[in-house]
Amino acid sequence: MVMSKELEIRNMKRSEVDELVAWAAREGWNPGMHDAELFWATDPEAFIAAELEGEMIGGGAITSYNGEFGFMGFFIVRPEYRGQGFGNTLWQARRKRLLERLLPGASIGLDGVFDMQDYYARGGFAFSHRDMRFRAEITDRPVTSKDYDKFILPLTDVSFDQLLDYDHTCFPAERPNFLRAWISQPDALALGYIGYMDDGKLNGYGVVRRCGEGCKIGPLFADDAKVAEAIYTRLAEFAVGGPLFLDVPENNPAAMAFVSQHEMVEVFGCARMYLGEAPNLAHERIFGVTTFELG
């Protein structure tokens, strides 16, 4: 069906981000309790609305990280307006606007549902790998390893410069504003792992936050599976009594072995795709991505 009504593409108001997050919850994406506030604080200019006759019918995020890397997420059109061309207009406008916000040559990433992969490919995005969501039921307090537990401390006690440097090995651009808010958000636990080789360096970190359903870990970055295990076990304590979700990149075999070892169940997945050159990341450290919405 061809659109017969004019669609206005504009920046969102803060209150509309709450509405977008509510739509995401209805889609089953299970956003965090404070995602709207945190995402807005990261980049208020990222949130784009599609308005039809005075009503927001769709939206999405086009987050810019210092102009060096962009990420497209939160792409939603209300069900009753799908199949009418509105989504295509919104997506093309978001892609154009994000390119204008970035430095020349900067890449854009996205995590798209699999049935949209061909559509994104027509927009110039190339497939990189799959990011798979896994679920565990945390019924009892996990048993920690005393050998490794002594190296774990609150992430707010870690030098922020060290955290920023470590994060940048696993993410295409520095994101200080996001990290400061993310690791100190309410209803969450953020932990770092220091001194694995007795050198005082950060060897990994993770954050778990409460969501509409259970809790979600993101990110989980670690030098190896032993460090990931130690951080995960402590984060899992936070989720006792409900489900725990972890979004795992399939291009890290150690991460896939990790979820298999913990008998986590695959419940969802996305295709990670890039417009432009794929970033050079320490994929072996990425046991869990941060979010499907902001990268």
- Tens of pLDDT, residues 258-282: 999 999 999 999 999 999 999 999 9
Statement: 7-131 belongs to CATH 3.40.630.30: yes
Cβ-proximal residues to 74 (8 Å cutoff; 6+ apart), any chain: 20, 24, 39, 47, 59, 60, 61, 293
The pLDDT of residue 12 is 98
pLDDT at 4 over 80: no
- Output the average pLDDT for the chain: 94
Q: CA gyration radius for the chain?
A: 19
pLDDT band at 150 (very low <50, low <70, confident <90, very high): confident
* Chain segment 226-238, per-residue pLDDT in tens: 999 999 999 999 9
Q: What is the percentage of the chain residues whose pLDDT exceeds 90?
A: 92
Same fold, 7-131 and 133-267: yes
Closest CA to 110 of 134, 91, 88, 83: 91
> How many Cα atoms occupy the beta-carbon half-sphere of 258 within 13 Å?
32
pLDDT at 194 over 60: yes
Instruction: Read off the pLDDT of each residue in 173-192 and give the average, rounded to a whole number.
Output: 97
What class does CATH assign to 133-267? alpha beta
User: Which tokens sit at 265?
Assistant: 């169940």
pLDDT at 293 over 60: yes
pLDDT at 3 over 50: no
DSSP letter string, 236-251: HHTTTTEEEEEEEETT
CA–CA separation, 111 and 50 (whole Å): 20
**Where do the domains of the chain lie?**
7-131, 133-267
Instruction: Read off the pLDDT of each residue in 30-36 and give the average, rounded to a whole number.
Output: 96
CA–CA separation, 120 and 150 (whole Å): 45
CA–CA separation, 175 and 274 (whole Å): 19
Phi first, then psi, for residue 248 (nearest 5°) are -110, 130
User: Which tokens sit at 75?
Assistant: 């792409």
3-state secondary structure of 43: coil
Q: Which of 137-141, 145-149, 193-197, 261-265 has the highest mean pLDDT?
A: 261-265
Instruction: Read off the pLDDT of each residue in 22-40 and give the average, rounded to a whole number.
Output: 96
CA–CA separation, 248 and 105 (whole Å): 28
